[in-house]
Amino acid sequence: MMVLVGLVAGVMVAAGVVRVARHRAGAAADLSALAGAVHALADPALACRRARALAVANHATLSGCVVRTGVVQVRVRVKLSIPVLGQRSLTAEARAGPR
């Protein structure tokens, strides 16, 4: 019985870790896209640098940034450590701009 309780607790902890990381990745992507959109029309290169800075500030890695007609689309990756399964990463995408 105790083994079953331990197993269920472990699964719940792992699910919680994944859920928190998924929200962190989404928030980092949203904030990075918004930070880049401020500069998207004037300086697309600066837009991606600002997006990267915001991703790093949110403990994520910017793995993609595209600026087209004032719209910034970003992809970020967040690393996480799942008990028993080890290191994994989650990605999230977001876009921001006038359209």
- Nearest one of 3, 2, 10, 74 to 36, comparing CA atoms: 74
Q: Please tell me the least confidently modeled range out of 3-17, 27-41, 62-76.
A: 3-17
Inform me whether the pLDDT recorded for 17 exceeds 90.
Answer: no
Inform me whether the pLDDT recorded for 99 exceeds 70.
Answer: no
Q: Give Cβ neighbours of residue 6 (< 8 Å, ≥ 6 apart).
A: none
The type of residue at 11 is V
Instruction: State pLDDT tens for residues 49-86.
Output: 999 999 999 999 999 999 999 999 999 999 988 877 78
